[in-house]
Amino acid sequence: MLNPKTIRADFPLYTEHPHIVYLDSSATALKPKAVLDALDGYYRIYSANVFRGLYGLSERATAEYERSRDVVAHFIGAQSSDTVIFTRNATESLNLLAYSLGNRIIQKGKRVVVSMAEHHANFVPWQQIAMKHGAEFVVVPCDSDGKVELHDDASIDKIVTKDTVLVALFWVSNVLGSVNDIAAITKKIKQKNPNTLVVVDAAQAVTTFPVHVTELGCDFLAFSGHKLFGPTGIGVLWGKKELLEDMEPFMYGGDMIERVSVTESTFAQLPHRFEAGTPHIAGAIGLAAAIEYIAGVGVHNAHQHTQKMIKHALTGLARFKHIRILGSSDPTKRVGLVSFVHDRIHPHDLGDILSKDDVCVRAGHHCAMPLHTHEGIAASTRASTSIYTTTDDIERLLAGIKKAEQILL
Active-site positions read 367
Cβ neighbours, 10 Å, residue 122:
27
Cβ neighbours, 10 Å, residue 94:
29
From the list 36, 49, 44, 30, the residue with the least C-alpha distance to 286 is 36
Q: Edge-to-edge strand order for the sheet containing 235-239? A: 84-87, 235-239, 220-224, 197-201, 164-170, 111-115, 136-140
From the list 189, 176, 231, the residue with the least C-alpha distance to 32 is 231
CA distances, 266 to each of 86, 248, 251, 261, 302 (Å)? 21, 11, 13, 9, 45
CB-based contacts of 73: which residues, under 8 Å, 6+ apart? 80, 81, 83, 84
CB-based contacts of 261: which residues, under 8 Å, 6+ apart? none
Q: Cα angle vertex 285, ends 252, 226, to 5°?
A: 85
